[in-house]
Amino acid sequence: MSDQKYNALVVGAGISGIRAALDLAQQDCRVALIDKSPAMGGLLNQLDFQFPSTHCGMCKMLPLVHRDRSSQFCLRKGLFHENIDLMLSTELSDLAGEPGNFAVKLHQRPTWVDPGRCVGCGLCESVCPETVPDCFNEGLSSHKAIYLPVPHAIPNAYVIDLAACSRCGACEEICPTDAVTLSQSNRKNFNILVVDDELSIRDSLKEWLEDEAFTVDMAASGAEALEKLKAQTYQLMLTDIKMPEMSGTALLQKAKQAYPDLCVVMMTAYATVETAVEAMKTGAEDYLIKPFDPDTLVPMVILIYQDIEAARDREITVDTVILATGTSFYDPADEKNIYGYGIYPNVLTGIEFERMISHSGPGGGGLNRLDNGRPVQKIAWIQCVGSRDIQHNADFCSSICCMAAIKEAVLAKTLSIEPVDTVVFYMDMRTWGKSFQQYYDAAEQEHGVRFERCRIHSLSQDNLTGDLVVRYVSGSGRTVKELFDMAVLSVGQRPGNKTEHLSRICELPLNAWGFFSTRPFSTIQTPQDGILAAGSATGLKDIAESVISASAAARSASQIITSQNRHIKPPVKEMPDDQTTKTDNAPFRDVSREPVVLFVGVCTCSGRLNQWVDPDALARYFSMDPDIIRVAFINQACTADGWQQMKKEISDCLANRVLIGACHPYVFLKKIRELAQTVRLDPSLMDVADIMAPVFRAVAEEKKDIQAICTGVFSALNSGAESMKRMEPINPQPIPIAQKTLVIGGGIAGMTAALAVADAGYGVDLIEKSDRLGGNLNWLHQTIEGVSLKDFLTDTVDAVEKHPLVNIFMSSRLISFEGSAGQFYSTIENEEKKAVDVTHGAVILATGGHEAKTAAFGYGTHEAIVTQKELEIRLAENQIDPAQAGTVVMIQCVDSRQGSRNYCSRVCCPTALKQARHLKQLNPEANIYILYRDMMTCGFSESFFTRARNEGVIFMTYDRENPPAVDTGAGQITVSLTEPVLKMPVEISADLVVLATGIVPDFSDDLASLLGIPKDSHGFFQEAESKWRPLDAIKEGIFACGIVHSPRSATEAADTGRAAAQRAISLISKPAYLPDKTMAIVRHSLCSLCERCIETCPYGARMFNLDHTLIQINELMCQGCGACAAVCPNDASVLPGHSGRRMLGTIDAVFEQLHN
Amino acid sequence: MRSTSRHILGSVKEMIQACIQCGTCTGSCPNAFAMDHTPRHLWQMVLNDRTRDVLTSKTFILCSSCYYCTLRCPRGLPLTDVMGSLTRLARTENPTGFKKSHLFYGQFLQSIRRHGRVNESELMTLFFLEMKNPLLPLQYAGLGLKFLQKNKISLPFVEKEGSHGLEKIFEKVREMENQA
């Protein structure tokens, strides 16, 4: 295989991998995106609904600028980007080298179906005799051995599950495009040597394997085997361990020394399994325990065959590697299986439930019991299955299951036709993210989901009715028995299946729970230079956090690529030469003044088309059209020869419009781009009409109505031709971009963002309102892990201050802000009222937040009632004598998660644990009480909760309605509450009361209106989309990071800084922006300035220019959706290339008839 | 809230400090219906130093050591062992409210030690004598008659003493308890 160069390798094509790949690709880096499964999209492929929108929305990750370089359709279906090579069924098998020059080996498992030829007609599936459980539907349905990995991919090629395939050859025979190659002939060349001293074993092995068409030789001893190995090349050796003279182990060593590529499988009696396991350490591939039957042996040999012989290995070099390998799920059917998963039919995992309720799922979205098919009326969600469970090595919280369970319960309530009762059994409801708490409240109050705070110990089944019996302790302390139709297990997460394997290949350490370790103050930087991790590979993350970490990883990766000075050119002032201008150097011909010259190339698919459609009739019909210069029939356009012929025909007739009639438009996307370069014709003037779909559909449905097929093919071709004829050449003009970024706020997030942008070689103006950089880190001293924040802060401040590209405005504020993405004009004013004007292409908002003020719990009435921030400061300044603090009461959720501040500040629970443990260390005799509502120790911080408890910190819960009372009478502080478990009043005489008041954002109304962006309901930054575009403002060109976006720790804030920098750089990385082809324009002479288009535009891309009294379009923000064209009463707003004439003409063409 | 006797529960408290009050133990416990405090309650009482309430509770006496709670506890706490420790503690501390349980438990063990199995008539006779409450036997009269009718009560003092070899076990337990 040829050696190929890429800038980055992204391992894992789930959402993190896609985000990182897209970010890098947008910056002109060449990316190899690989995934071990035969479909991209990862876990999210199986999830149809995400809260809060109950939609998917993955497509919102697609680029908004330079859209033409990428496909613009559902991301679950596929991704085509000119800078991304997507390789599926591919794994990383070896890595060597250093940042800037990693030699990477990729191992691609064959799917036995050529995706370039497979048209997804499904004929093979109909003839396949083998049936296996369907992975995509989590085994709730079944598929054939030849199957579609996901129902919706484009191109949707079939793959073969070789373990299930019986190699009957039926699919190979029936495939109309010869895409299936199941040929047995290659197996003849796969030589297997069987070494055993017993003749009967040798004989039966030979017989079994020869039945599978392998070539088999035998040897009776080690010495004979070595001789045979010398005489001929073998790919696989099966050897007995216990043999006279030379043992199998000795043979293994000798054979491996001489033939390192030889694959060896040990055969052993049960007693010597340990020897076999030892042998695997010295190079054996696997072992078999005697006695074994063909059902054990044959699949193993086939897998080895597949790996060795049939797999395609590629070697590529990359500058950097991003591991976005995600997580796997805990298997609830473990040795204890307390929930009877797999035994009781109505016990499902969360993913299985999602598949069940999906319209593409096995039940088509219906909620029926799996035992008797009756509608489900009552469902229980059981939280923390395999999470927060030390008995299952999970002293961590999986972070996403609480919200997933709430969403699933709401879905059940809203999607089910029958009324459904839903109960969520939980320990702590972890609503730690933006808007999570509101969603939880709505689920409980509006949808009527019931929440029971009790862990469910086990499930049993009523054998008569099949109902599931749940026995639990209710809030009142009573033991309750309740019956359910269905139970959904919120199974926890585990490291991705290949994490350990990858950690060995990349020499990466793993943390205590088997996830990739990262450096301090980063969730993406691994200890290995040049290797980054994104998404949940380093810890449990939801969609938004994964997307953020992926962008941050992309930033660090492109940092490495830039420092290697490859591919990415340093920014230059003049316009780049790849713009379409009317000079001879332009890549494409200017055809705007030429009459239409349309070439129609029809692929006959090896003559198959002729069975249904008369080519002469087609040619006759089209030759009557004066715009069509030539109709050419090409035998197989998908082959190199066919394509060459197509190119030649097009060049010969000097066509300025091209229509290709072929089978799979997406197969031709890349080819068309390449063709555009050869014939110097803009690719927007070329199109592919899918003429084979009617043929394949008819074949699959076995309705061979020749007339219908003929009409279908003709319609596709005729409408395609009509559409191309009326396609106007579009020649957008480049827009200059100010390659600078404005960062507002000099806290850790802002500084990290500024550094990230500056390190990429772009100028930064950093505004800090105070006279000191650092924000909240100026008073924070250490993290919950006990790492000092001081060095982190000093290093960052130093780097920012010394960076030549960072211009710092201290004690300054933004007083004026105008312009739009690419060209913003701001005025910054300092203390002395001196104003400076700056121009920049993007803005990063990082104004942060501060601890909320409170008047609750007697704050202000007694000096020993303090906030968490005050405690941190006093402890650091030694103002608190730990010996005097004999009893400390910490109250969580002060004014938070209720009333007007109905959100979780996320940092307070870990902070309380940090301080409690710190105080306990200073004074082990101290009594420390933490009064909390739900302990928000998501992810690995759960382990600190366990530690704090072990160290003797006492925890008591309270609920929103019954908060504790603090009394400061007679100078003595008394905290009283009703202990919810014992239902007894408790009074604590406290020496110190610490209130966790949460975080409020520093984001003034003035600044928001100056920037022209809205705030969310709690005053934080309002993102364009909470899951898929978490850091982008609705107004293009403005991004946010740090706690003005949402409360988070210093480490997480720094990562959002990197991610926001990446988003900004995507915008400003080129000095000029060439707008995408599909973009609205205004014909000002027709415009009546009614401003309807301004209200309609969903991207806010239009504004009323008061100076020139006209409607102006921001080319960067316009996505070409056409809403403005539809709403315009005067046809003043139009989408070039999508004129009414063209659209109506195309529709008319569909209904025209071909007369033979 | 803070009790001077907190050290009494100290060792037990250490064993269950990591309890997160999830309720798995109570939900699992087959005897929870008869307990005055469910296991979950009991742990919270231990953590809150309610020493007297804990030691006079019948919960640990009613524990049948089925080990369900220990098996299922997500924190992996040795809950059945804690029940045992509390029983031992209650016997050593012997608070007033615990007298009945303590004496019954003591006589039960003594009876086993003598006969290798429990001798119901002997156990109850000695228990009543020790409780020094003349009205107490009346409370048990109904239950006793039911048992008699079903032949569930063996006759007093018919089995030979010391012929069962349990003595070694009792000696070993005493040795271990002394060490602890």
**pLDDT tens-place string over residues A173-224:** 888 778 888 766 677 778 899 998 888 888 888 888 888 888 899 898 888 9
A887 touches chain B (CB under 8 A): yes
Residue-level pLDDT at B159: 56
Domain ranges of chain A: 4-109+318-326+496-563, 123-174, 185-307, 331-494, 598-725, 737-843+1010-1063, 851-1000, 1081-1136
pLDDT in tens, A1109-1155: 999 998 888 888 899 999 999 989 999 888 888 989 999 999 888 76
Spatial CA neighbour of A1001 closest among A1061, A1046, A954: A1046
Q: Which residues of A touch B16 (CB under 8 A)?
A: none
Contact A695, A609 (CB under 8 A): yes
Contact A726, A1145 (CB under 8 A): yes
Q: Between chain A and chain B, how many beta carbons pairs sit less than 8 Å apart?
A: 84
Rg, chain B, Cα only: 18
pLDDT in tens, A337-357: 889 999 999 999 999 999 998
Q: Which CATH architecture has domain A1081-1136?
A: 2-Layer Sandwich (3.30)
pLDDT at A989 over 80: yes
| Residue of A457, A950, A981 lying closest to B17 (CB–CB) | A950
Compute the distance between CA of residue A915 and CA of residue A900 in angstroms, rounded to an integer: 27
Compute the distance between CA of residue A470 and CA of residue A474 in angstroms, rounded to an integer: 11
* Helix/strand/coil for A360: coil
Contact A1059, A1110 (CB under 8 A): no
Q: Which segments of chain B belong to CATH 1.10.1060.10?
A: 6-93
Q: How confident is the model at residue B139 (pLDDT cuts 50, 70, 90)?
A: confident
Nearest-neighbour CA in chain A from B149: distance (Å): 34
Task: Name residue, tokens 């995400």.
Answer: A50
- Vertex A751: Cα angle to A750 and A757 (nearest 5): 90
CB contact (8 A) between residue B40 and residue A471 = no
Nearest-neighbour CA in chain B from A430: distance (Å): 15
CB contact (8 A) between residue A390 and residue B20 = no
Nearest-neighbour CA in chain B from A475: distance (Å): 10
Compute the distance between CA of residue A586 and CA of residue A608 in angstroms, rounded to an integer: 40
Q: Which residues of B touch A989 (CB under 8 A)?
A: 1
Could you tell me which residues come within 8 angstroms of residue B83 by beta carbon, excluding any fewer than 6 positions away? B39, B59, B60, B63, B65
A957 touches chain B (CB under 8 A): yes
| Residue of A388, A391, A473 lying closest to B26 (CB–CB) | A473
Does the interface predicted TM-score (ipTM) exceed 0.95?
Answer: no
* Nearest residue in chain B measured CA to CA from A481: B27
CB contact (8 A) between residue A982 and residue B75 = no
Compute the distance between CA of residue A798 and CA of residue A807 in angstroms, rounded to an integer: 13
Task: Name residue, tokens 């729970």.
Answer: A513
Nearest-neighbour CA in chain B from A385: distance (Å): 9
Compute the distance between CA of residue A1020 and CA of residue A904 in angstroms, rounded to an integer: 13
Residue-level pLDDT at A703: 67
Burial class (CB in 10 A: 0-12, 13-18, 19+), A410: buried
| Element of type H or E holding A751 | helix A748-759
Spatial CA neighbour of A93 closest among A79, A106, A111: A106
Nearest-neighbour CA in chain A from B19: distance (Å): 7
pLDDT in tens, A277-297: 788 777 788 888 887 788 888
Q: How confident is the model at residue A2 (pLDDT cuts 50, 70, 90)?
A: very low
CB contact (8 A) between residue B48 and residue A988 = no
The DSSP bridge pattern shows strands A823-830 and A835-840 to be: antiparallel
pLDDT in tens, A565-586: 554 433 333 333 444 333 445 6
A886: how many CB neighbours lie within 10 A of its CB? 16
Q: How confident is the model at residue B162 (pLDDT cuts 50, 70, 90)?
A: low
Residue-level pLDDT at A528: 93
Mean pLDDT of chain A: 88
- Vertex A833: Cα angle to A831 and A836 (nearest 5): 105
Nearest-neighbour CA in chain B from A927: distance (Å): 9
**Token digits of residue A333:** 């059917």
Nearest-neighbour CA in chain B from A981: distance (Å): 6
Compute the distance between CA of residue A176 and CA of residue A290 in angstroms, rounded to an integer: 44
Contact A190, A305 (CB under 8 A): yes
pLDDT at A873 over 50: yes
A569 touches chain B (CB under 8 A): no
* Nearest residue in chain B measured CA to CA from A456: B24
Q: Which residues of A touch B33 (CB under 8 A)?
A: 479
* Helix/strand/coil for A1130: coil
Amino acid at A406: I
**Portion of chain A with pLDDT greater than 90, in percent:** 50
**Token digits of residue A100:** 């800037």
Residue-level pLDDT at A1041: 96
Q: How confident is the model at residue B157 (pLDDT cuts 50, 70, 90)?
A: low
pLDDT in tens, A218-247: 898 888 998 888 888 888 898 888 888 888
Residue-level pLDDT at A209: 86
Regarding predicted confidence, which is higher, A573 or A671? A671
* Helix/strand/coil for A701: coil
B18 touches chain A (CB under 8 A): yes
CB contact (8 A) between residue B23 and residue A390 = no
Amino acid at A423: V
Task: Name residue, tokens 């121009």.
Answer: A839
| Superfamily for the B6-93 domain | Alpha-helical ferredoxin (1.10.1060.10)
Compute the distance between CA of residue A79 and CA of residue A357 in angstroms, rounded to an integer: 26
Best probe of the B interface among A942, A982, A991, by most B CBs < 10 A, is A982
Compute the distance between CA of residue A882 and CA of residue A897 in angstroms, rounded to an integer: 31
| Residue of A427, A946, A989 lying closest to B18 (CB–CB) | A946
pLDDT in tens, A42-97: 888 888 888 888 888 888 898 888 888 888 888 888 888 888 999 998 999 899 99
The CATH classification of domain A737-843+1010-1063, taken from the options 3.30.1240.10, 3.30.479.30, 3.40.630.10, 3.50.50.60: 3.50.50.60
**Token digits of residue A1038:** 């403005």
| Superfamily for the A4-109+318-326+496-563 domain | FAD/NAD(P)-binding domain (3.50.50.60)
**Fold of the A851-1000 domain:** FAD/NAD(P)-binding domain (3.50.50)
Amino acid at A285: E
**Token digits of residue A317:** 């070099």
A987 touches chain B (CB under 8 A): yes
DSSP β-bridge partners for residue A4:
A316
The CATH classification of domain A185-307, taken from the options 3.40.50.2300, 1.10.3720.10, 3.30.43.10, 3.40.1550.10: 3.40.50.2300
pLDDT at A298 over 60: yes
Q: Which residues of A touch B27 (CB under 8 A)?
A: 454-457, 471-473, 479
Residue-level pLDDT at A753: 97
Residue-level pLDDT at A707: 84
* Residue B134: cis peptide before it, omega within 30 degrees of 0: no
Does 3.40.50 match the CATH number of domain A598-725? yes
CB contact (8 A) between residue B44 and residue A946 = no
pLDDT at B5 over 60: no
B34 touches chain A (CB under 8 A): no
Q: How confident is the model at residue A310 (pLDDT cuts 50, 70, 90)?
A: low
Lowest mean pLDDT among A20-34, A811-825, A1063-1077: A1063-1077
Residue-level pLDDT at B168: 86
Q: What mean pLDDT is predicted for residues B122-148?
A: 86
Regarding predicted confidence, which is higher, A882 or A159? A159
Residue-level pLDDT at A66: 82
**Fold of the A331-494 domain:** FAD/NAD(P)-binding domain (3.50.50)
Nearest-neighbour CA in chain B from A488: distance (Å): 18
**Token digits of residue A52:** 């809060």
